[in-house]
Structure 1
Amino acid sequence: MGEKLPRGPGGARLRSDTSSRPVQTLRVKMVLLGSSGVGKSSLALRFATDEFRSTSPTVGCAYLTRAVHLSDVTLRFEIWDTAGSEKYHSVTPLYYRGAHAALLVYDVSQRETFVRAQVWLKELEKQYIPGSTVIWLVGNKVDRAQGRQVSVQEGRSLANDRGLFFTETSALSGDQVSELLFAVAHRVHECTGAQQGGLSEWKETPHVDLRRRDTITPLVSCCKVGP
């Protein structure tokens, strides 16, 4: 039997890297921001390999990739998983500058991470022109429903007030993770596909070892997108 692939909204499949690719492959830089322990590394791994495993705290920033094939183009996501620890806070802007998409992640069972996500948002707003980055508020660990401290309504209200997109996920079960990546891909492509100076063409960077979880070499983009 063939490999079971994750599905996007409406049952659309996210094709694997071995599928026939459209002619053009474009680069999308996506960064995950949030407190330590909210599941950013687990989400990044789900995005990249559709797997879950326990991870150690990220040191600096980890880098993974994933190709998402839309109807007329392939988007190669560079997924930057930033450290949530305070001691890395000062260097984090090096990794999210030039991001086409930013995911602000909090743990629905830990209210302080929801508050902290709003601090990350203020920091992010200092680094980009309003409307230049697709920003998603992500409530992770919905598998911990019995211990929930942040309601769906609170997350959605914050997103609406700040002009963000909103989704709740579970990196553990995979619930809504592939759908989130698919939605981000469509939104980024929709906002940049027809723009001059939009997404740049993907180029391999053989000096980066994608097997390492502690890769910290930053890449900076000048591309702009709108929400």
Structure 2
Amino acid sequence: MKSVEAKVVVLGTQGVGKTSVVLRYVGNSFNRAVSPTIGASFFTCKVLLDSCRVKLQVWDTAGQERFRSMAPMYYRNANAALLVYDITSAASFEDVKSWVSELKKNIDTAIVMCMLANKCDLNNERQVPKEEGQEYAASIGALFLETSAISNEGIRPAFLEVAKELLKLCEKVPNSGLNLYETMSQEKSNNNIVSPRNHVKTNFVGNLHDGREPEQQERHSCC
């Protein structure tokens, strides 16, 4: 089986739900009392696309302004970026634009960008029209999905689409920093999401959020 490993950085201002989005995908859980991220948190998950396995190394960065100067340490050499904003906060949408500018200035290799319009369950409090988010995403060549960590809407499709784009990038852009390699595996792909074979491990190092999260694996068809 062919495999590819990719670094994914999650960016956005404080309170937009970055950690909740990641925890919903990785652990299928939601906690309203999740603590603010300090520095960054590290998670891993795997997506099986036909005969290729994509391992995502997800760096969930702190949104607080006092940690902004640390961000380059986490998005350096990133292959994909999840740009998260809160649909009930116009300011968080504008902040995403500043992150895009920063990425373009500091990353000189091809990168997959995906905008997540989070908290779509609060549509009655919406400040950012869906069309506005879609138009901006299209202008920067990014994927766009509306998500809700509470209802789990759009979460799995977001990670699946990013994995698909990473695989395309690996195959089409030689200097992307991504490489396919052969692994010994008897896993087979199908069209269903299967229960992950979890094992708990400490994924946090250095000045990162201290905690334990499972590694998740899901199987999808590439078609």
Report the TM-score range of the alignment, normalised by the length of the smaller protein.
0.7 to 0.9
Return the offset for 1:200.
Answer: 6.0
- From 44, 60, 83, the equivalent of 2:62 is 83
> Identity over aligned residues, as a percent?
34
Matches within 5 A, 1:57-136: 57-129=36-108, 132-136=110-114
Tell me which amino acid in the other structure corresponds to 1:96. Answer: Y
Q: Give the corresponding residue for 1:34.
A: 12
CA 1:133–1:59 in 2, change beyond 3 Å: closer, same or farther?
same
Q: In the alignment, is the contact (CA less than 8 A) between 1:27 and 1:201 conserved in 2?
A: no
Runs of 4 or more consecutive aligned structure 1 residues displaced over 3 Å after TM superposition: 193-197, 200-203
Q: Give the corresponding residue for 2:216.
A: none
Q: Give the corresponding residue for 2:168.
A: 190
Q: Give the corresponding residue for 2:190.
A: none
Question: How many residues get paired?
Answer: 189
**Cα deviation 1:20-39 (Å, max 9, x = unaligned):** xxx33321111100000000
Q: Distance in 1 between matches of 2:117 and 2:163?
A: 19
CA 1:156–1:194 in 2, change beyond 3 Å: closer, same or farther?
closer
Tell me which amino acid in the other structure corresponds to 1:127. Answer: N
- From 185, 203, 212, the equivalent of 1:210 is 203
Q: Give the corresponding residue for 2:35.
A: 56
- Other structure's SS at 1:52 match: coil
Residue ranges of structure 1 left out of the alignment (5+ in a row) = 1-22, 216-227
Q: Distance in 1 between matches of 2:2 and 2:131?
A: 39
Return the offset for 1:163.
Answer: 2.1
Q: Distance in 1 between matches of 2:42 and 2:127?
A: 30
Q: Give the corresponding residue for 2:124.
A: 146
Q: In the alignment, is the contact (CA less than 8 A) between 1:34 and 1:116 conserved in 2?
A: yes
Q: Distance in 1 between matches of 2:182 and 2:14?
A: 30
TM-score by length of 2: 0.78
Tell me which amino acid in the other structure corresponds to 2:112. Answer: V
Return the offset for 1:202.
Answer: 10
Which structure features the higher share of strand residues?
2
Return the offset for 1:166.
Answer: 1.1
Q: Give the corresponding residue for 1:199.
A: 179
Q: Indicate the larger mover: 167-176 or 23-32.
A: 23-32
Q: Distance in 2 between matches of 1:163 and 1:198?
A: 19
Q: Distance in 1 between matches of 2:182 and 2:21?
A: 23
Tell me which amino acid in the other structure corresponds to 1:70. Answer: L
Q: Distance in 1 between matches of 2:112 and 2:36?
A: 26
Is residue 177 from structure 1 mapped to residue 155 from structure 2 by the alignment?
yes
- Other structure's SS at 1:89 match: helix
Q: Distance in 1 between matches of 2:37 and 2:53?
A: 28
Tell me which amino acid in the other structure corresponds to 1:209. Answer: T
- Other structure's SS at 1:99 match: coil
